[in-house]
């Protein structure tokens, strides 16, 4: 009886392992790689769309208004007369358009 079970287990096709590994990569692509690539693309679109006067928040939580746009940096006014030069990559959110849109009524 044990011999029959061992023989049955050994009769898998050589493609079964390949299909299993391929399936793991397909699942990884759709659940990990693709959403991350979409998030990076949306972040790049956000950064390239920012203009002078937009209100932004950095990754560190600094809120400010863009005063000047350079190639790699923004000059952000955080208080009257206080300006910070920040990298474009540290901007995490933009609030100007969110403030201009009417908010939905909460139930």
Phi and psi at residue 85, to the nearest 5°: -95, 115
The residue that leads in pLDDT, 12 or 44, is: 44
Phi and psi at residue 52, to the nearest 5°: -60, 135
pLDDT per position as a tens digit, 33-45: 999 999 999 989 9
pTM: predicted TM-score of the whole model, two decimal places: 0.62
């Amino acid at each position: 009886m044990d011999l029959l079970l061992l023989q049955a287990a050994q009769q898998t096709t050589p493609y079964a392992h390949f299909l299993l590994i391929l399936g793991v990569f397909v699942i990884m692509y759709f659940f990990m790689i693709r959403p991350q690539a979409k998030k990076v693309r949306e972040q790049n679109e956000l950064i390239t769309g920012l203009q002078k006067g937009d209100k932004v928040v950095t990754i560190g939580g600094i809120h400010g208004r863009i005063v000047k746009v350079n190639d790699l940096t923004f000059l952000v006014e955080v208080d009257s007369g206080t300006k910070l030069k920040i990298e474009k990559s540290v901007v995490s959110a933009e609030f100007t358009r969110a403030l201009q849109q009417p908010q939905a009524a909460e139930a």
